[in-house]
Amino acid sequence: MSKQQQDFKVNVNTEIGRLRKLLIHSPDSGLGKVVPSKAQDWLFEDIVHLDTIRKGEYDYYLKLLMYFLDPEKIKGKLAAIDSEEANRNFYKPGHKEFHNSNSVLEIQQLLIEMLESESIKKKLVSAVCAIEGCTYKLQLQLAEMDPKELAELCISGTMANDTMIFAPIPNLIFTRDVGTTINNFILLNKPAKKARARETLLMRYLFFNHPVFEAYRNNILEIPDVTMHFLRPGDEPSFSTTLEGGDVMMVSPNHVLIGCSERTSEHGANEAIKLLFEQNVVEKVTVVKIPAKRDYMHLDTVFTQVKRNTWVILNSIAHSPKFNADEPINFLKEPEKLEATTAIQFHKDKPGEPKYFEHVEALLDDISRNDLHSTEPTKIIYSGNNTFPYDSREQWTDSCNLLALKEGVVVGYDRNDKTVDAFKAEGFNVVDVKDLIQDLESGKVDANTMTDTLILMPSAELSRARGGFHCMSLPILRDNL
């Protein structure tokens, strides 16, 4: 076993313990190929400008992650990394000057490494060609490609000569959705959307074949289809088992939240719960049912955790809608079923006796106080400072989708002004990532001692893809709280 394999640990038991290792994917050339007529099918709200999304936005995220997770790769070298002569090579998977961090793991780089094995290469090429409907001759041609080119092709859909042979998978930047680390297990997703199918295939191959995950092969959980799904005529969505990682949150060592949403079906949640209980991964799973609509998409688009006792949430999800008896209209029309949210908790040792929470906020308070033993009152920061129409506008641009680098230090978009005000009102420092990076480089600020801070990231292009930094991260290792 190599040194890299020996040192490789998989373990996440909260949403906010100090982040030590994660999987990411930087915007690849496929994002620059999204055309207006396909943007919606490929789950983007608009086309994006590739150069800006890379240099003006995502590169700052990469640098920030490096200062927190792998400072040796960046500290003292920032000017050289960002110099014109360096040509962004630090950021390019497969390049000899690529950062190659063992903490900030780039999926494309892991794919290149995995494809060094001829037998895996043949299998993956066959699988990709099968789902993309390639000709047999093309399949033979791809099997001869070198690992770097092939990895790029599998992700971007484009050959080195710029010929597109199948669609890109631009949503791979949202690594959260392809799987979730639950203690030392990895729960793979089963995507609801066709546009995300190849991502899942690539990740399945990586987790089962890349040497760094070797010690964890028996800890990979895959969700099966239920017989009812493939025996029923037509495409009956109510029996499909789908689950996407943005709906799964590891909130405390024994407790997982699963959202039932536009993307995760009730059957998907059901199969995941059975797997988690049968394999003794956790004792409690709470299913949070949110409205199945594009605005919300996944659980992590409506709330994320900031500190043991602090959460950011969209108020309409936090509480069940109140019945207003003063308005005759409320007696006349059917209740809006779609808007209701519920939280139902299942315990491994009490089958058939679920516990119901009055609303989502009560669940979050329970997690803070009882699971995480917070002694402070639970604080809720609302999207848009709980003011209409900023609440829903800012939720749409991921005000609730924050990534915790450590307890209290979270990363979010710079465009959600009212939510930023709400953070300030709760005593958080708010810093612009560009200033912070200068201060981390000069030593004026130390990542180890930072507390209660919201780090603001440039977001004009990234937010068109409809995901924030929680979505753009798949934590593999966090410290215990």
> Binding residues for ligand CIR, per CB under 6 A?
43-44, 171, 174, 176-177, 246, 297-298, 300-301, 465-467, 471
Task: Pick between residue 115 and residue 400 the one whose CB is nearest to ligand CIR.
Answer: 400
In angstroms, rounded to a whole number, what is the distance separating the alpha carbons of residues 428 and 243? 34
| Helix (H/G/I), strand (E/B), else coil: 356 | strand
Cβ 360 vs Cβ 313: under 8 Å: yes
Cβ 208 vs Cβ 220: under 8 Å: yes
Using alpha carbons, select from 294, 282, 216 the residue that is nearest to residue 5: 216
CB of 399 to ligand CIR, least distance (A): 13
Task: Pick between residue 64 and residue 465 the one whose CB is nearest to ligand CIR.
Answer: 465
Angle between helices 197-209 and 107-114 (to 10 degrees): 60
Distances (CA, A) of 40 to 34, 51, 190, 355, 466: 10, 21, 20, 38, 11
Our measurement of the distance from residue 362's CA atom to the centroid of its chain's CA atoms, rounded to an integer in Å, reads 24
In angstroms, rounded to a whole number, what is the distance separating the alpha carbons of residues 294 and 413? 19
Task: Pick between residue 297 and residue 306 the one whose CB is nearest to ligand CIR.
Answer: 297
CB of 468 to ligand CIR, least distance (A): 8
Cβ 213 vs Cβ 111: under 8 Å: no
Buried/exposed 334-357: b ≥16 CB within 10 Å, e otherwise:
eeeeeeebbbbbbbbeeeeeeeeb
Task: Pick between residue 94 and residue 384 the one whose CB is nearest to ligand CIR.
Answer: 384
CB of 299 to ligand CIR, least distance (A): 8
Task: Pick between residue 366 and residue 394 the one whose CB is nearest to ligand CIR.
Answer: 394
Task: Kindly write down the DSSP assignment for every residue of 304-348, as one continuous string.
Answer: EEEETTEEEE-HHHHSPPPP-TT-THHHHSPP-GGG--EEEEEET
Taking residue 32's Cβ as centre, other Cβ atoms within 10 Å add up to: 18
Computed on alpha carbons and rounded to an integer, the radius of gyration of the chain in Å comes to 22
State phi, psi for 133 to the nearest 5 degrees: 65, 40
Task: Pick between residue 48 and residue 343 the one whose CB is nearest to ligand CIR.
Answer: 48
CB of 262 to ligand CIR, least distance (A): 9
Query: For 375, how many CA atoms within 13 A lie in the half-sphere containing its CB?
Result: 0
CB neighbour list of residue 140: distance below 8 Å, 6 or more residues apart: none
In angstroms, rounded to a whole number, what is the distance separating the alpha carbons of residues 134 and 445? 52
Q: Among all residues, whose Cβ is closest to ligand CIR?
A: 246
Taking residue 163's Cβ as centre, other Cβ atoms within 10 Å add up to: 9
CB of 297 to ligand CIR, least distance (A): 5
Task: Pick between residue 248 and residue 450 the one whose CB is nearest to ligand CIR.
Answer: 248
CB of 178 to ligand CIR, least distance (A): 10
CB of 356 to ligand CIR, least distance (A): 26
CB of 294 to ligand CIR, least distance (A): 8
Task: Pick between residue 176 and residue 478 the one whose CB is nearest to ligand CIR.
Answer: 176
Task: Pick between residue 287 and residue 436 the one whose CB is nearest to ligand CIR.
Answer: 287
CB of 2 to ligand CIR, least distance (A): 32
CB of 401 to ligand CIR, least distance (A): 6
CB of 176 to ligand CIR, least distance (A): 5
Distances (CA, A) of 446 to 68, 263, 437, 451: 9, 39, 10, 10
Angle between helices 136-143 and 118-132 (to 10 degrees): 150
Task: Pick between residue 450 and residue 465 the one whose CB is nearest to ligand CIR.
Answer: 465
Task: Pick between residue 367 and residue 402 the one whose CB is nearest to ligand CIR.
Answer: 402
